[in-house]
């Protein structure tokens, strides 16, 4: 497995924040992409998930997470067409450093590389400064579970 430290450039994202089961991820992603398209924005794939706590530490109803996508274009902030009463948030992400690796296999198993990334940060005197981000490089509609690619990132300083 290749682990690297890299710079993520500044970019804008739209995201939906949730508390609860990960079962809601596919429907939230659908709402998000539909919202972007209805607002005349071009989604920049790949989509991502950001995870603020762990299913090893909290119950499914206490899980905190978000799903999002980068986009290009400007939004009419005075007249966004919010869908399904889901609150879509917009944010510009500043340039930052991450340690990163790509996991191949079912999305639900990508956490298996977290320990390796954590050990890399220790060995390289880096400090993790935020939640883990999983970037989904392909989707179950395009590849079998064994061929799915997920980039796992830890933000570091």
* CA 83/CA 104 separation, integer angstroms: 33
Spell out the domain ranges in the chain. 4-156
Q: How far is CA 76 from the centre of its chain?
A: 24
In terms of CATH architecture, what is 4-156?
Alpha-Beta Barrel (3.20)
| Predicted pLDDT at 73 | 82
HSE value, Cβ hemisphere, 13 Å, CA-based, for 11: 16
| Predicted pLDDT at 77 | 61
| Predicted pLDDT at 100 | 98
Comparison of pLDDT for 102 and 86, the residue scoring more = 102
Q: pTM of the entire structure?
A: 0.89
Tell me the average pLDDT across 51-63: 96
Tell me the average pLDDT across 9-27: 94
């Amino acid at each position: 497995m290749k682990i690297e430290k890299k710079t993520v450039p500044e970019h804008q994202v739209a995201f939906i924040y949730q508390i609860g089961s990960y079962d809601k991820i596919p429907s939230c992603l659908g709402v998000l992409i539909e919202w972007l398209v209805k607002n005349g924005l071009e989604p920049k794939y790949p989509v991502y998930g950001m995870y603020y706590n762990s299913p090893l530490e909290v119950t499914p109803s206490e899980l905190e997470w978000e799903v999002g996508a980068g986009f290009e274009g400007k939004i009419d902030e005075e007249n966004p067409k919010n869908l399904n009463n889901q609150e879509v948030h917009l944010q510009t992400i500043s340039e930052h450093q991450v340690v990163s690796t790509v996991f191949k296999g079912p999305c639900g198993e990508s956490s298996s590389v977290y320990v390796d990334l954590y050990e890399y940060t220790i060995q390289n005197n880096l400090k993790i400064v935020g939640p883990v981000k999983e970037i989904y490089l392909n989707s179950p509609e395009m590849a079998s579970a064994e061929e799915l690619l997920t980039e796992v990132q830890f933000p570091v300083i």
